[in-house]
Each structure stands twice: as structure tokens, then as C-alpha cells.
Chain A
């Protein structure tokens, strides 16, 4: 079975995000970028499936700017067998929308004959949480989202999902799209020797046009703004004053 893992290049989770002065989005020029942390978990799970003999090949796919090559190299260094880069944008500020990503992924899945797609449940930059679900609809495959445990049992995938109030276990028919949550596994570091070895693994470069997919945006970002900064506190002399103040603000 071939496992396909889409990986997205996003702003590093350690970086303090700055909104562009014109409010059109977030400043990404000269900012440290990394693999979306949820995608890392998906890559790790795919590698574990291969190590367990359940999967034969792990293919990482990234759709976006050319620099996403680095992200794919990380996936290869972690243990993916090969990678496909679909160049769909020139400007690092252009975010390819979930529908376009899902359409391209559907083509790649068909072309590769993959039997399982392991994807992050969402990207930490736009938090859309949509690509996996759209891909499932486009392919007519089963979907199991927010996975915190995954077992492949013959023709089925048994997936434990993190839902409000606890865990839900479902059994879906393969082929399937599984989107992964934080607690599925702890991804390994791509070790230094593996980083260097990854250079020799195949990385194919394609374009969105090769798949005949139009990636022009359908959504319009009206405004992006910084969260409100925390207001200065106030020291009150006693409990009574505190209660009065809280009442005054309508908090109690």
C-alpha cells in the first residue's frame, strides 16, 4: 500500500507572528518557516506504518511555493521515500485554498494509486481544517478525522477520534483519508545523517497546471488584525473594592 502525506510549509510555531501594516495578511518575508506540526505527526504515522510492514511506500506531497522543497526534504529526512512538489504560487504570501489543494491532491492520489492519505487535521497558519474532508468528498473515499489512534485491519482502518467529551472509535473502509490530531504520536527528529541522506531521495517537481487545476483564490481576505494587547492591571486596596469593580464591569 502506498501512503500519501500532504505537508504544508507554514510559519514556524515559535515565531512571533506580525500582521502586515496594510492588514492584508501576515508578514512572511524572512521569517522562519517549518512543516505544519500536524503534518509532522502524519509523516511520523506513515513512517511507522511502513516500519510495521503495513505500508510499502510513503510519498510526501507539498503544494505551494518552490521553497516548500525544504519542507519536503524534512519529510524525506524523517523517512518518507520520495516527494512531489506541486508549484502553485510564486509569492510566499499566497495561500492556496483548501479546495484547490484538495483537487490537486485528488489527481496525485489517482496518479500514484495511493491506498491511504494521512494528513494533518489542519494547518496552523489558516486553521481551515477543510482539505482532508474535501479530498474525501472529491475521491468518494471514507474519512476519519482528528485521529489519536490508527490501526489498519485488513480492508478497514480503525480510528480513535478526539471528540468533545472524550474519544470515539470508528471503523472505516479503505481506501481512506485520515486526518491526524496532536496525540496520535510524537514525531521523531530528522537526524543529521538522515538530513544529508535525504538529498539523494527523489523529489519530483510539478505545477498546478500539470494537473489542470486552477488555483486562483475564491475567498477574499477582508482584513487581518493583531489580537488586542493586554491592558494594564490595577491593584485594588481590598476585597470589597475588587467585588465592586467586578460588578461594575458586569463580570459577576
Chain B
């Protein structure tokens, strides 16, 4: 391993000094816990990440999972790493105590995830998917279903998946073609036979645990053999790979997708019910499939943001240590100097390091801030819930999009070496390239932000955000006055952009430019939190530098992104497709 994939000191600064998570110990859910406990948990995650996960990361890229005799073989080091992670019980962190977990704050769990994902994002995604899966079952399942499907995942003897997409259905889940035919009723509730093909199923097959619990989105047939069209007809089913009586269920991995990165997690084409029909049990009620999945989306999307932030960190730290050691060229003002200078002496390399630092810290700040909102809203804080709703599409997409910009610079700093597979940065970039795609593409997030969270919003989310930004600006120290000015200007531009979108009185037309709004709003939020972080008493010179860089070089882009929104551009809405 070339370097430390993560900077623990900065993580601690964010958690304990900036977010003051010690105050979360006062919430009823975390009674009796304290900072010392959470530090011990973070230390555990830190060690497991460095000692068990990180060493398997490279091998997982070179030895892709294999489908042999119907079984998906995960790269052995990765298999062992996931096992160690589960044995350490890290997947139980945020599970409530009365449901078999430890009731730690979600913010702490998010921080453990950040360290794990920086070390080996593909290994970390097995438990991450499983945590989301068992949470669905615990929230919406019956006691018998929880015992059969969630408990083994919590015990580490099963892992879970989310089977939503199909070969022809990605972002438009209403068109799902998998069918579920009623097949009686037993202890586990209404039973069905499922038939259909699922696509892009991460960890759909693996040889880490015997049991795999698939959560499958399908359409239940009515007595007349028909299904309800659109997303209202979707239901959710728990389909175990091994049935309660020990027989193998009619679920098969029929192929593996060969990915650009993130290769340690097998990505599967799944056939449900090719023979007798896959047995599955209804979770919740018929037609509730999509609303159930949406309940889980907030945290899944924070998870994506954290992965992207973690990889931005890793690229930044990797290219920083390279730039400090690598000597090349002379300083611009001393061209005849006898010896070459470290890369860090060149202003353009410094720019790229600073940009990565701002993106990495900004991304992590956004994700952890949102994680804290999850904890606060769970304790009944309505403002936190409102703000979380507005921020979620940004939490998912800003680190994903900007993390790639950061990784691009990490490669650039390495020059030709960065383009070879002898250095880590190319894998970091390839791994990270998934993040703008899964759990709702950037385009979907833009529509969510400008549509549901701004144009059709009744919760006052935007006003709350604007107010919080002003509070940070009002309270910033004098030495950050330049950042305050830049943030206020960006805030104003955002306000005007949203007003222009409202003013169109035509949501469909306005949403054509939704991604522009998402980019702009993401930058405003990042600028806000970087200033808020840099204003923290214990923040160092580095945090102030990142904030200044972001204010001078990045925040001016907000107005540029919003130009087509303010101009009410209909270019993409009305163009002639044949001319594309």
C-alpha cells in the first residue's frame, strides 16, 4: 500500500470539533454512550480497514470474480476481508439495541464506513448492502420474517442484496417485468412464486456466506392474472437463496458483468424462477414496494456520497505523497537552479492538490453533516428532517461528480505514471466512476432536487438552507472575510436561479435544466460547509486554505452553471433529436 488511504485526524476534527457529535450522547437513543465508546469503535474500524481490507483492494481489481459451477467466487483476500469486517460486528453499529444492534449514532457508523470504503470500497459494499437490506426487513417485516431473513444477516451468517433493476429497466422502475404469483401462505406470511430477470445485482452471488437474502421488486399478479401498470403495482419480496427447509431456491446467477472498476463486488445477472418459480415472501403489503424502497433511499444515498468522498480522500493523499517525493523541473522563478524541485513547488500542482483537498473535505463534510441530520431527525428534530430531504440529492451526487474531478487531478499529478496500472490512482478513478450512476444517477438527483425539493416543496427546505448559510456567514472569523463575500454572492445566485425556475410556471420545462441547478446548489452547500468547518476553533491552516481555494476558484462557477436556468433556456427541451 502506497500510503494511508485516509486521514484520521481530519475525520476526528469533523466529528468531534466541527459537528460536536458528543452532543448526540444526549439523545435518548444513545443514552449511556460516550465519546470514548465511539472513539474505540472508530479505532476498530480504522484497524480493520487498514489491516484486513486495504491489503485486498488491488488483488480484487486484478482477479475479477468468477462464475464457476453456478457459484460466484469472490477474490479470496476480499472474501476474508468481508468475513473479518462482519466478525468485528461493524454492521451492527447503527442498528437499534432492541433489534439486536448497538444503537450507535448513524454519524459514527457513517464514519466507520468512510474508513472502510477508502481502504476497499468493493469489500465494504457487501456489508453496506446487507445493512440496508436487513433494515428494510426489520422495519416492514413481521416478527417471523425478521427472524428468518434479518437475524442471520445481523449474525453475519447471511448477506443481503437489493434486486431492483432489470435488463430493460433501470431508472424507470414502474416498468419492472418480474412477476409474482400467489402461492399460499405460511409462517413467513403470503408466499409467491417469482419469475423474471434482474440486472446489475451487486453481490447477487458470492461465496462468503451460505445464505443470501434477496429483496426483489416485482409485480404481483391479481386473481385475473393481471398486474397493475406503473410503479403502484410494485411489491417487495424476500427471496432467500436457501429455503427455510434447507432446499436451494430457484434463483441462479446466469452471468457476471465485467465492470470498469469496483470489481471486487460481483455484479450479477440473476434469473429468478427459471424452473419451478423462486419462492418469495411479501414484505409489507402489495403495491408498497416503491414507498418501502424510498424509505431506505436517504441512507443508501448518503452511503454513496461517503464512498465517493472516501475515494476523493484516497486520491488526494496518494497524489500528495507522490508530489512531495517526486522531484521534477525547476521553479518558475529559478529556472537555472541546479537541482529539480519537488512537484509541490509548482503552483499548478499546488492548485490540483488544493482542489482535491477542498473536494475531499467538502464531500466528507456534506456526508457527515447529513448523517448527523439523520440522527437528529430520528430524535424528532423537524428542521433536521426538512434540511436532510433537501440535501440528500446533493449528498449523493456532489461527492460523486466532484470526487471524480479530484481523482482526475490525482492522476494528472502522477503524469504518465498515473495512467499506468503500477500506480493506485487509476484504480481509484475507475472505482469511483460508479458513484454518479448507482442509487439514482446524477440526472435523477437533479430532478429530485429541483422538482420535489424546490419547485413542489411545501416544507420550506430551501429557506432553511439559505438561513443556515447566512448564519455561518455572519459568524465566520475576520480572516475568512473573503470567503464570506464569495459565499454570500453564490447564495444570492442560487436564490435567483430558483426564483427563475419557479417563474417559468412550467415544471417540465424547468426540469430540463435540473442538473445545472444540482451542480450549482452542490457548490453552494460545499462552500457553506467548508466555511463553517474552517470557522471551527480547532480548524487548522489546511481547512482555511481549502476554504479560500474553494471561494476564489470554485464558487464563481455557481453563477455560470445557473446561467441557462436564469435565462430560462429551452435548448435541451425543444431541440430536434435528429440533429444530435
Residues of A within 8 A of B (CB): 14, 32, 34, 69-70, 73-74, 77, 189-196, 199
Contacts and interface: CB of A to CB of B under 8 A. Distances in A.
Given A70-B36, A70-B39, A77-B40, A192 B92 contact: yes
Which of A34, A189, A191, A193 has the most chain B CB atoms inside 10 A of its CB? A189
Bin chain B's interface residue count. 20 to 34
B274 interface: no
A199 B37 CA distance: 8
Interface stretch (B43-51, B141-149, B470-478, B490-498): B43-51
Contact of B43 (A34, A69, A193, A196): A34
B8 interface: yes
B410 interface: no
B87 A191 contact: yes
Interface in B27-48: 32-33, 36-37, 39-41, 43-44, 47-48
Contacts of B8: 32
A17 B415 CA distance: 31
> Considering the complex of A and B, which 3 residue pairs feature the smallest CB-CB distances, nearest first?
A192-B89, A191-B89, A193-B89
Given A14-B50, A70-B36, A73-B36, A192 B84 contact: no
B93 interface: yes
B47 A192 contact: no
Given A32-B8, A189-B48, A195 B92 contact: no
B95 to A, nearest CB: 10
A195 B93 CA distance: 11
Contacts of B32: 199
The A interface, classified by DSSP as helix, strand, loop or mixed, is helix
B423 to A, nearest CB: 21
A14 B1 CA distance: 13
A194 B88 CA distance: 9
Given A195-B44, A199-B37, 7 more contacts: A14-B4, A32-B43, A70-B40, A74-B40, A77-B40, A189-B44, A192-B44
A194 B87 CA distance: 11
Contacts of B33: 196
Interface of B: 4, 8, 32-33, 36-37, 39-41, 43-44, 47-48, 50, 84, 87-90, 92-93, 102
B37 A195 contact: yes
B36 A192 contact: no
Nearest to B85: A189
Given A32-B8, A189-B47, A195 B40 contact: yes
Nearest to B86: A191
Contacts of A74: 40
B40 A73 contact: yes
Given A34-B43, A195-B44, A189 B37 contact: no
A209 B32 CA distance: 32
Contacts of B93: 192
A76 to B, nearest CB: 10
Nearest to A74: B40
A190 B39 contact: no
A142 B563 CA distance: 82
A27 B340 CA distance: 33
Contact of B102 (A34, A73, A196): A196
Contacts of B102: 192-193, 196
A190 B44 contact: yes
A189 B40 contact: no
Nearest to A188: B87
21 contacts: A69-B36, A73-B40, A74-B40, A77-B40, A189-B44, A189-B84, A189-B88, A190-B44, A191-B87, A191-B88, A191-B89, A192-B44, A192-B88, A192-B89, A192-B90, A192-B92, A192-B102, A193-B102, A194-B89, A195-B41, A195-B44
A77 B88 CA distance: 11
